[in-house]
Amino acid sequence: MSQRYLNIGPHSRMIVRTAQQVLSRSDLPSSQHRGALATVLQYAYGAAAMDVRWIEQSRNAGMTPDELFARVSRDLAEREGGEVPDAERDVDVAAMRERDFSHALDCLIAGVEKLAQRDGAAPH
């Protein structure tokens, strides 16, 4: 089961405890910690599930993730009667996923910080 559901794995409690410690040091009111924790964890679990699914799809197609991305980009461009955009050529899928994950997590954290400011606390 732990291989199918990320929040049941051997490190899930450690991850939750660490996130709770970070929240306890934030200016977010404690009454809002559970919601903030749920938001961040659901995002992380969802992103990880998408990564796993992409890797499975590439493996099933007999390709690397980069090759599958290139093929999907090419197929979509052909279907739309255009060319593959420059930003989608020679993509390192792992680097792209890491960059996108980090940026999205920064956006979530910025939202939590904004809530703390809105409720009258000073930002960290």
Checking phi first, is residue 43 left (phi over 0); if not, alpha (psi -120 to 50) or beta? Answer: alpha
Domain boundaries, the chain: 6-118
Q: Give the model confidence (pLDDT) of 93-112 as tens digits.
A: 999 999 999 999 899 888 88
Q: Give the model confidence (pLDDT) of 78-95 as tens digits.
A: 888 888 877 777 889 999
* List of residues 6+ apart from 26 with CB closer than 8 A: 112, 113, 116, 124
In residues, how long is the chain?
A: 124
Most confident of 1-10, 57-66, 108-117: 57-66
